[in-house]
Amino acid sequence: MTAAMINRELNFFGNSPLLYLIATPIGNLGEMTPRALEVLKEIDYVACEDTRNSGSLLKKFGLDKQFISCHEHNEEEASQKIISLLKEGKKIAYMSDAGYPTVSDPGERLTKRCIEAGIKVSVVNGPSAAICGLVGSGLEADHFYFYGFLPSKPSARKKELESLKAREDTIVFYEAPHRIGATLKDMSSILGGDRKAVIARELTKQHEEYIRGTLGEMAELDESTLIGEMVIIVEKQKSTAKTISNDEIVEILKEKLENLSSKEAIKETAKENDIPKNVVYDIYLKNFKD
Ligand code: SAM
């Protein structure tokens, strides 16, 4: 696509319709942002995952709006209805039950369909269970991989964990309380019992708790104490790059020197083993030069 074919319009200028995607509290009501309330006051319809949940949330802030139900099972049809209303000039915001819509929640198809229909999208920022848990975990947060929910079937869950085993970044999972015990046991046996992990439970609520330990220790926890909503954060796999001893470098050099010049042997040894050339050169000087 050439730059000339790209249609551009700033989100808050021009007349094209725009869908708001609003993040809502994951626990504490104080997480509802002033901007979210400002947008909600302005709009004509609240499209949402569950009209009862969003209705009672809005009621707490003295707001009474018309709702459009848009959940996992009707998202395609509901999206068409929402797009028609937006094109008629109605103002609409979408919210899921908690946190960001689309993140392990409905809203992704609606967002895609809106974008395909030339409708702009603006996200009203707010809480995310994944980011909240990751930040409080104290595990490396510069690079992390958000996985979300593992499959509920044990065989599929184990297969997914196998595929995640070698990731060299922190992994963030969501899990339901009725599966937490089985999931922790699978994590311990597949990802490794000595890997550090944190269970971030009931975030921003009265019984907020961070449980820190190894996956092996987590797998032994009394399941009846793991109630409420939980994020599991798993330490990254340590780098698998192998370390090489000086004696091993001497052996490699010795072999290469049978067929190569000293310069080539040093260069190849350094490159193949990912070691700085000057290190190999020093070893060469000490062991092969008299
Ligand atoms: N869309 C949400 C978000 O942006 O965080 C996530 C929704 S997902 C259906 C629900 C899962 O998020 C829960 O099973 C749990 O793993 C996690 N979660 C939601 N609220 C939480 C909380 N207060 N404390 C810990 N985990 C939470």
CATH of the domain at 83: 3.40.1010.10
Instruction: For residue 168, tell me if it sits in a domain.
Output: yes
Ligand 1 within 6 A of CB of 132:
no
Domain check: are 20 and 82 in the same one? yes
pLDDT of residue 241: 56
Nearest-CA residue for ligand 1 atom 25 is 230
Q: Please answer whether residues 161 and 187 qualify as being in contact, where contact means their C-beta atoms are separated by less than 8 angstroms.
A: yes
Ligand 1 within 6 A of CB of 27:
yes
Provide the 8-state DSSP code for 178. G
Neighbouring C-beta atoms of residue 279, cutoff 10 Å: 15
Instruction: For residue 1, tell me if it sits in a domain.
Output: no
Nearest-CA residue for ligand 1 atom 20 is 26
Choosing from 127, 146, 173, the residue where a domain stops is 127
Q: pLDDT by residue for the chain (290 residues), tens digit each?
A: 556 788 889 999 988 999 999 999 999 999 999 999 999 999 999 999 999 999 999 999 999 999 999 999 999 999 999 999 999 999 999 999 999 999 999 999 999 999 999 999 999 999 999 999 999 999 999 999 999 999 999 999 999 999 999 999 999 999 999 999 999 999 999 999 999 999 999 999 999 999 999 999 999 999 999 999 999 999 999 865 566 788 888 898 999 999 999 999 998 888 888 787 888 888 888 888 87
Choosing from 127, 162, 178, the residue where a domain stops is 127
Cα–Cα distance for residue pair 169/234, rounded to 1 Å: 9
Domain check: are 72 and 138 in the same one? no
Instruction: For residue 241, tell me if it sits in a domain.
Output: no
* pTM, full prediction: 0.83
Cα–Cα distance for residue pair 281/108, rounded to 1 Å: 56
Range of the domain at 259: 246-287
Choosing from 107, 127, 147, the residue where a domain stops is 127
146, amino acid identity: F
Domain check: are 35 and 115 in the same one? yes
| Gap from CA of 154 to ligand 1 centroid (Å) | 21
Domain check: are 148 and 172 in the same one? yes
Number of domains observed in the structure of the chain? 3
Domain check: are 172 and 263 in the same one? no
Q: Nearest-CA neighbor of 53 among 83, 26, 80?
A: 26
pLDDT of residue 275: 80
Instruction: For residue 5, tell me if it sits in a domain.
Output: no
Sign for the pseudo-dihedral over CA of 87, 89, 90, 93: positive
3-state secondary structure of 92: strand
Ligand 1 within 6 A of CB of 26:
yes
pLDDT of residue 2: 57
Ligand 1 atom at minimum distance from 129 CA: 5
| Gap from CA of 174 to ligand 1 centroid (Å) | 7
Of 124, 128, 174, the residue with max ligand 1 atoms within 8 A of its CB, to mutate for a pocket test, comes to 174
| Gap from CA of 178 to ligand 1 centroid (Å) | 14
Give the gyration radius of the chain's Cα atoms: 27
Please tell me the total number of residues recorded for the chain in this structure.
290
pLDDT of residue 273: 80
pLDDT of residue 242: 61
CATH of the domain at 193: 3.30.950.10
